[in-house]
Chain A
Amino acid sequence: MTTTPEAIGSSWTRVEGEDKLRGRARYTADIPVEGMAHGALVTATITRGRITGIDTAETLASPGVIGVVDHRNAPRLNPEAGSPFFGPDGQFLLLQNDEIEHGGWPVALVVAETPEQARAGAERLRVSCVEQPHDIGFSAGHPLLRPALSSFGPDADKGDLDAELAQSVVTVDERYFTPPESACAMEPHAATVWLEDGKIRAFDTNQAPFGTAQMLSVLFDRPLTDVRVEAEQLGGGFGGKTGVGPQLILATMAAMVFDRPIRVALTREEVFLTTSARAATEQRVRLGADPGGRLRAIGHEAAFELSVKAEYIENCVEVAKVLYAADAIRTRINVVPLHILPPNSLRAPGTAPGSFALESAMDELAERLQVDPLDLRRRNEPEVGPVSGHPFTSRNFLLCVEEGARTFGWAGRDHRPRRRREGHLLIGTGMAGTSFLTTAFPSSATITAEPDGTFTVAIAAMDIGTGARTALTAISADVLHVDRSKIRLKIGDSALGPAWGAGGSLGTTSWSWAISSAAGELLALLESKPPLPVSVTSDTTNEIFSLPPRERHAYSAIFAEVAVDPATGEVRVRRLVGRFAVGRVVNPLMVRSQLVGGMIMGLSMALHEQVVRDEVTGRQVNADFAGYHFAANADVPFIDADVVEDHEPDNPLGLKGPGEIGTVAVAAAVANAVWHATGKRQRRLPITLDRVIED
């Protein structure tokens, strides 16, 4: 056995870094395909109704236009196509009939020789509709409220919530509201599709090349071997590029209809209107405690908006089942189907809005108990899973809390609100924490020992900006016991075999497991000195499905200091400290970047972000970056994010995922700090000027 080079743990810069800095890295819309034509979308200007006619005459007469695809000539799609978690997805079924069920629904694709000609042709398409009444008004009191799917586990029903609340000396019973939000990856969705010997070939912006190819094959009723989806670089995802995007479906249709390579690059407005958003939520949290701060009851009932087209689960109640011990824990999760863009994952789905509610309520409880919010956490640390009863694999929540508090300088804080002033500004501090589920999903990897002493490592992973290329190169070097210069990594191609995507903070945990398994088998095989090249493919399905039931989570504690101008209502986050238990760290430089970036998205969620829909027209009115503001450079202070010593025993390399946890708990920490500064609770996001301003 040769020595292990310990590439894991080294702060190498990104392997593709110089390509990105020189403008050489190729994103989907940068890659030309010979003979390519361009498609431009036509989207519904009504929110609900039927198409009564499409007049293509002016469009077809427009210079450069090749043709139009609409519901009258589009290839038929398989209505069973969907996600393994949520079932058939009506959002995939583009151009199949004359129905419109949300504003911005694509009704046609105009194909032309150049992007300008396609856009001009699209503007000349005359679509006639009859309107029907729509309903976009979300509230937990809506008559259509019903339980969500239970694919992510049953509701918690531990103990007798009502009895424990009745016996609690101090209680909280409040409602919290979060708006729809958009992922806003900087790279708009784009796809280029062509047919090669009757097979579908695509460059596409997605977070999971294999999963996307699989869904596309079902959707177009083709064998999986007839579909290949690739990407070299992905300009961010944040959940907004999961599944099969409209760009890929429409480009595939047009490639079939016109038998030409087609590029469909969504405009920024179309990304807002046609891809996905985080669902709005309304959450009721009830807490009951003894005078000493021991929790007797946690009730977390969440409702979120759904579209009429597809199921989804915004699992807001996950953290309430894990973070604190209590005699009674009850969770419920309900949906209201509406005529809106189908909600889907956005960085830290469920936990980001869910922790805002739970951790705001915990701060309100600390206020009513007149205890340090830290002490409230210390007094309610569970021994085992509070609902499941299963043991924790590694639980370092309080370590995050203590280290974060020390770095932030929490000790000596006057817990009463509205006590600190600097000139006309009100100053406040707040904290919040979270758990974040970690596991791995089945994946396969192929490693080839080459005659020149190098190793080719192939896995259908995607680097969405997280540093997956760099991390998997380091991991491959370590598990093969070679220098990383000997590793050639191939990712971003569905043809490399089944693999989980970049999502759920589970990319690297899942992919590295498969690479580790394949490396073990290959090294054993190489003992017998076989002729080279020689390859081994390993699949982790059996290992992962045989994991025992245990509580596996990452943890965080977030500390925020804000300055509030009581005259204007302006909130500035002045300091942000995060401490994280995210398992063993593959690359400290990049993990810190991911955590800081996640915290900035949380800051942005707290103060800036909301999709605004017009009740009358049903349409999003802020579908651009001027109207939908997310944090810009001047909104963001220097941020202190670091990890605590942590190791996940149920992962071969000790890994958990750092991808999303940075975002969680920031909104509550900021809201709690705003209360501490002003004395006014913020139970509705974002914390805009009008919600803060004082008369």
Chain B
Amino acid sequence: MTDATRSQISLQVNGNTHRLTVDHRRSLLDALREDTENTGPKKGCDFGQCGACTVLLDGKRVVSCLTLAVAADGAQVTTVEGLASDDELRPVQEAFLRLDGFQCGFCTPGQLCSAVGALAEHRAGWPSAVTADVSPEHRCELDADEVRERMSGNLCRCGAYPSIVRAVLDAAGREEVKR
């Protein structure tokens, strides 16, 4: 199955191993959507400009449309489908539902993965472009401006931003406990 245009790769998606033969041009997004039946990640632009395809790649958020599937060989991928257990929503998902952090829902899979990734980055002490004090010993407080900045890679045309900010702040503490 492997030739000049295709290679065999292994992807761990939401805990399941997939052995795939993929076209070298195939993005991680298309591999997830077409080859592993995880259609949660969405193709909003295919240019890395909208964030609807955001997934966690080995725990870090990436736009899967700008990641080639062959480059993700051997990686652990978490998509929106893998964020929650079967019976219970994850805190950030529960907060999105309760606070109405979405309308059409198309950007939501990316928003959720991005929120989980952003909260992990904040816990790890990463500053953002609006963090005033970036000295290593300073731990920046997560406030609305920090969330707005850290979530600005995920566009939402329905304009759910204020509710998304509230939901991420609302869930931040509980997401931490969950880790």
Contact = CB atoms under 8 A, between A and B. Distances in A.
B142 interface: no
A127 interface: no
B43 A21 contact: no
A140 B56 CA distance: 51
Given A464-B104, A634-B152, A22 B80 contact: yes
A224 interface: no
A467 interface: yes
Contacts of A466: 103
B81 A22 contact: yes
Given A188-B43, A634-B152, A25 B158 contact: no
A71 interface: no
A29 B41 CA distance: 11
Which of B30, B44, B46: most chain A CB closer than 10 A? B44
Interface of A is mostly: loop
A26 interface: yes
B157 interface: yes
Contacts of B158: 186, 236, 465, 593, 597
B104 A235 contact: yes
B21 interface: no
B100 interface: yes
B126 interface: no
A596 B162 contact: yes
Interface in A559-601: 589-590, 592-594, 596-601
Contact of B46 (A30, A120, A268): A268
A2 B24 CA distance: 64
A18 B97 contact: yes
A115 B30 contact: yes
B42 interface: yes
Which of A14, A18, A29, A593: most chain B CB closer than 10 A? A593
A23 interface: yes
Interface string B67-99: 000000000000111011000010001001110
A22 B84 contact: yes
B97 A636 contact: no
Contacts of B104: 185-187, 233-236, 464-465
A639 interface: yes
A631 interface: yes
B152 A267 contact: no
A436 B146 CA distance: 36
Contact of B148 (A116, A589, A633): A633
Interface in B140-161: 144-145, 147-149, 151-152, 154-161
Contacts of A13: 97-98, 100
Given A268-B47, A598-B159, A626-B49, A116 B102 contact: no
Interface residues of B, number: 60
Interface string A625-660: 110001111101111000000000000000000000
Interface in A523-552: none
Interface string B49-76: 1101000000000000000000000000
B121 to A, nearest CB: 15
A687 interface: no
A592 B101 CA distance: 12
A186 B160 CA distance: 12
B36 interface: no
Interface string A595-637: 0111111000000000000000000000011100011111011
Contacts of A592: 100
A24 interface: yes
B102 to A, nearest CB: 6
A625 B103 contact: no
B100 A633 contact: no
B81 to A, nearest CB: 4
A17 B168 CA distance: 17
Nearest to B5: A63
A547 to B, nearest CB: 30
B107 to A, nearest CB: 5
B108 to A, nearest CB: 5
A27 interface: yes
A324 B145 CA distance: 40
A601 B100 CA distance: 18
B45 interface: yes
Contact of A589 (B80, B100, B130, B145): B100
B119 to A, nearest CB: 15
A688 interface: no
Which of A14, A18, A465, A633: most chain B CB closer than 10 A? A633
B96 A268 contact: no
Given A598-B159, A633-B154, A187 B42 contact: yes
B155 A630 contact: yes
B139 interface: no
B162 A636 contact: yes
A85 to B, nearest CB: 25
A397 interface: no
A238 interface: yes
Interface string A250-267: 000000000000000101
Nearest to B110: A186
B164 interface: yes
Contacts of A456: none
Contacts of A184: 157
A21 B93 CA distance: 6
A381 B88 CA distance: 53
A535 B100 CA distance: 35
A176 B45 CA distance: 33
Interface string A52-86: 00000000000100000000000000000000000
Given A14-B97, A624-B47, A638-B162, A21 B106 contact: no
A625 B93 contact: no
Given A13-B97, A187-B44, A593-B100, A632 B152 contact: yes
Contact of A23 (B26, B79, B107, B160): B79
A23 B109 contact: yes
B40 interface: yes
A467 B100 CA distance: 10
Which of B50, B81, B158: most chain A CB closer than 10 A? B158
Contacts of A632: 152, 155, 161
Interface in A183-205: 183-188
Given A188-B43, A600-B159, A633-B164, A21 B103 contact: no
A21 B81 contact: no
Contacts of B157: 183-186, 236, 238, 601, 630
9 contacts: A17-B97, A22-B40, A186-B50, A235-B42, A236-B106, A268-B45, A630-B157, A631-B161, A633-B164
Interface of A: 13-14, 16-18, 20-27, 29-30, 63, 114-116, 120, 183-188, 233-236, 238, 265, 267-268, 464-467, 589-590, 592-594, 596-601, 624-626, 630-634, 636-639
